[in-house]
Structures are given as structure tokens and as C-alpha cells.
Chains A and B, each alone.
Chain A
Amino acid sequence: AQKITQTQPGMFVQEKEAVTLDCTYDTSDQSYGLFWYKQPSSGEMIFLIYQGSYDEQNATEGRYSLNFQKARKSANLVISASQLGDSAMYFCAMREGSSGTYKYIFGTGTRLKVLA
């Protein structure tokens, strides 16, 4: 069954350090997409980064990068130079499906706390 697993319920990181949030996925589809979203304490969902299953390069967006290891079925989010404003819940999500219809599966999330 298709599944997203985030094994770290909570993490701490010191300000200005890098942190990796883990995400593994399981799918039988060849075509899929992987997304990371941030949910601050205010509750909104903010898109961070996307990786397609056929993309050969790891995605990067500013301080965010996605460490995509297809054979291991992992799509870890790396945040460089952490800031206090990075404290939030982070969700990994997978878009699966083909033939013009697709659905999304989210992980259970990792709560990140950045320490001053």
C-alpha cells in the first residue's frame, strides 16, 4: 500500500545549524511526486519544495533542499542555516496516480524546534 513515513515526531536544532528531516515512501507507481510543506503554529500550510520521480537532480529552493534517493525510497528535507522562524511542523507528501487522476498521501509530520 502507498505510504509516507516520517519517523521523527520531534526534533531540536541549534540556530544556524543544518537539520535533516526524514521521509520514506512506498509506492508501486513509476510516476509520482514528493512535496514538503511547513505548518507554523498559526496553522497555515506552506509549500516548500517539490521533487518529481523522474527528476535526476535533487531539488533546491533557497535554504531548503531535498535529498532524493530513489532506490532507498527516501526524500529527506535538508534545511541549512536554521532560523527561529523555521520552528514548525513539517509534512512530507506524495502525489500518486496516473492517467490524469491523482491523490495525495501525507506523513504524520515532524515538529521542529529551533533553539536560540
Chain B
Amino acid sequence: EAQVTQNPRYLITVTGKKLTVTCSQNMNHEYMSWYRQDPGLGLRQIYYSMNVEVTDKGDVPEGYKVSRKEKRNFPLILESPSPNQTSLYFCASSFGNPNQPQHFGDGTRLSIL
């Protein structure tokens, strides 16, 4: 089944404790992206990747890191999480053609205490 898989689905942690949210897709997509969704703000793009070893900042990259060492994986790293990073996070992927829709993972709900 074609899918984007995020883990964990839920996480409660404390300020400053490094965490990684994994994202994997099995559709051989070139483009991958991370978003955060906050009430009243819609989805905001954090980072995106056009292909392996190619990443770029979205609109809200502060406090986040990403890497794209393999085509299928695009982990999101919070080196020192803070409470303002409490949010619902989505990973998405698509083929490189700009008219292709993104496929989204089921989301990861992060709570930073």
C-alpha cells in the first residue's frame, strides 16, 4: 500500500530533550516536506527536500533540523524542543513534477512541557 509513515504518532516530552520524528514513504517520491498545523494558522511549511541531499527552509524553520540521506526517509529533528513547538506535525511527499499533489502522513502530535 502506498503510504507516508510517521513515527511516533503521539509524544509528550520535556523542554530541551532532543527528539526525532521519522518519516518514510514507499512511493519513490522525490519531494518531501514537513509541516506544522496550529489552530487558526493552517499548515505552515518547516522544511522541504527536492531530492536526496537537497533540503531547503520553509516558512518556519527555526528550531528544527532535517536530513535527506535516503530518498525514502526525511526525519525531523528538534535538538532542544521548547513549549512553542507543541503542535501537530505532518510529513508529506510527492513526485517532483510541480502539478503532483502531496501525500500526507497521519500526523504526529507533539506536546513539549
Binding site for B on A (CB under 8 A): 4, 6, 31, 33, 35, 37, 43-45, 47, 50, 52, 91, 93, 95, 97, 100-109
Contacts and interface: CB of A to CB of B under 8 A. Distances in A.
A103 B98 CA distance: 10
A95 B43 CA distance: 13
Contacts of B92: 45
B41 A104 contact: no
Interface in B22-58: 33, 35, 40-45, 48, 50, 56, 58
Contact of A35 (B50, B59, B101, B103): B101
Given A43-B107, A106-B45, 12 more contacts: A31-B98, A43-B106, A44-B104, A47-B101, A47-B103, A95-B98, A97-B98, A103-B58, A103-B59, A104-B48, A108-B40, A109-B42
B102 A104 contact: yes
B56 A101 contact: yes
B74 interface: no
B42 A108 contact: yes
B50 A101 contact: yes
A109 B39 CA distance: 10
A52 B41 contact: no
B59 A105 contact: yes
Contacts of B50: 100-101
Contacts of B45: 103-106
Contacts of A109: 42
A106 B40 CA distance: 12
A106 B101 contact: no
Contact of A47 (B48, B98, B102): B102
